[in-house]
Amino acid sequence: MRPMLELAADGNQHSIREVTGQLAGVFNLTPAEVQELLPSGQQSTFRNRVAWAKTHLKMAGLLDSERRGFFKITPQGLQVLEQNPTRIDLKILRGQPGYLKARDGQKDESSAEGSPLAEDPQTPEEQIENAYITLRRSLGSELLARLLGSSPEFFEKTVVELLVAMGYGGTRKDAGLAIGRSGDEGVDGIIKEDRLGLDAIYIQAKRWLQTVGRPEIQKFAGALQGFRAKKGIFITTSEFSREAREYADKIENRIVLIDGSMLWNLMIDYGIGVSKTASYQISKIDHDYFDEENS
């Protein structure tokens, strides 16, 4: 926050876009670091942090916005810089009149005693997304544990439902007839690529704890030749070795490897074995709505 306030110390109006580029230089960020996205992939992490730095400085009365996308320093902001603090963080902002009320909706600053104002470097979006990722990973671990503890028939049913939900296999009845022929602790068979059956995909799935190595993928590739199939999907509840992935990448047949992590992610994405418990909508200012008032 201090570098942003220093850039605004000339008293001129500055745009967020301009300052974002300047701050990237201050922190010696590479283009790749500037473009790094939040887990959702919707916004740059750095631009998100710049925007929140401006928001906090504005709530503390150190910056002011006279028009959309621009800001300038206030007399209060100049006073803070004159004190030459080593850094400007939430501890400094907490001492500014009105900050707590603007930030937390406190009726008065004395009532904010003991409120959670930890020096967390993450923005609210990052905190929400990281909490979501933690919950998702926990759910994924439980899904894998349930699959490993299930019967071969149930695992077969789960794979069938997932593939159909993803658009493969035509109908669930068609997919169910085509899969599960091997009789081992997995799924082994041929499934339609689409409802018209324009191409066939060979499926093999193993409920394993041990790593799937190259020999298993070689056997799978041989099975594809026997079925005259060009495409295959190998699903496991464990993981693939580096040699297995390298082999799958270099052979002529197209083989997609789905490990345990990818499997539970797909199950969550397509609603297989999970149910929604809560949903939160994040809103932002509709600038066009307020621009009508200004015009």
Percentage of the chain with pLDDT > 90?
41
Q: Is residue 169 part of a domain?
A: yes
Q: Is residue 28 part of a domain?
A: yes
Predicted local distance difference test score (pLDDT) of residue 6: 95
Q: How far apart are CA 20 and CA 52, in angstroms?
A: 12
Picking from 183, 184, 189, 205, the residue whose alpha carbon sits closest to that of residue 260 is: 205
Secondary structure in 3-state letters for 194-211: CCCCCCEEEEEEECCCCC
| 101 lies in the same domain as 219 | no
Q: How far apart are CA 162 and CA 148, in angstroms?
A: 16
- Amino acid in the structure at residue 167: G
Distances 109 to 77, 79, 92, 130 between C-alpha atoms, Å: 20, 21, 14, 30
Q: Is residue 51 part of a domain?
A: yes
The CATH number linked to 98 is 1.10.10
Mean pLDDT on 259-277: 94
| 102 lies in the same domain as 148 | no
Q: Is residue 281 part of a domain?
A: no
Percentage of the chain with pLDDT > 70?
82
| 153 lies in the same domain as 265 | yes
CB count in 10 Å sphere of residue 92: 18
Mean pLDDT on 148-157: 86
| 99 lies in the same domain as 196 | no
pTM over 0.85, yes/no: no
Number of domains in the chain: 2
* Domain carrying residue 225: 140-269
